[in-house]
Amino acid sequence: MKVLNVARKFEEIVLVGSMVLILLLIFSQALFRYFLGSGLVWGEELARFVHVAQIWLGGSLAIKTGGHIRVTFFRDLFSIKVKKVIDLIATTAFFIFMVFIALKGTEFVLQLVNTGQKAPSMGILMAIPYSVIPLGGALMAIRLVQQFISIIKGELLEEEIEGVDK
């Protein structure tokens, strides 16, 4: 579990750092346009790439902190044992989807490497910004395994996940 805590701290630092980077990029774009009449050619594209990376990497942290939307009306009608089964089914389905995203994302990134497609403004390989798709899917799958184990141990999701009101 210590490794997962280090991963969580790393995710938090990367997400906060990327938010600061986006803020600086957008602010500098405004300054350049106002004072020089033209912005940085690559600034907006980099801000978009960083924002997309935030979404994919933040999804993993959202699983840990309970940030994903859950509709629990139906689930809450049942006993604790049935709730546990429903949580296991939902977590398993989410895990399967994230593994699918990670695998298909990897295939897509490798296809982009083979084609050599480049970003219009920055000139980097499009495989670089798109690599956050398989990375985010894999990180979310790891967090879902952690969640699955917690559910099996008898910890219902609303009792384990931070930030969920009881």
Q: How many CB atoms within 10 Å of residue 117?
A: 12
| Domain annotation covers residue 166 | no
Domain total for the chain?
1
| Domain annotation covers residue 165 | no
d(CA 88, CA 73): 16
| Domain annotation covers residue 138 | yes
The pTM score is: 0.83
75-112 residue pLDDT tens: 888 888 898 899 899 999 999 999 999 999 999 999 99
| Domain annotation covers residue 109 | yes
Closest CA to 60 of 8, 113, 127: 8
Please measure the distance between the N-terminal and C-terminal CA atoms of the chain and give it in whole angstroms.
Answer: 25
Give the pLDDT score at 41.
82
| Domain annotation covers residue 97 | yes
| Domain annotation covers residue 75 | yes
104-154 residue pLDDT tens: 999 999 999 999 999 998 999 999 999 999 999 999 999 999 999 988 888
What range defines the domain where residue 66 resides?
2-160
Closest CA to 13 of 61, 68, 64: 61
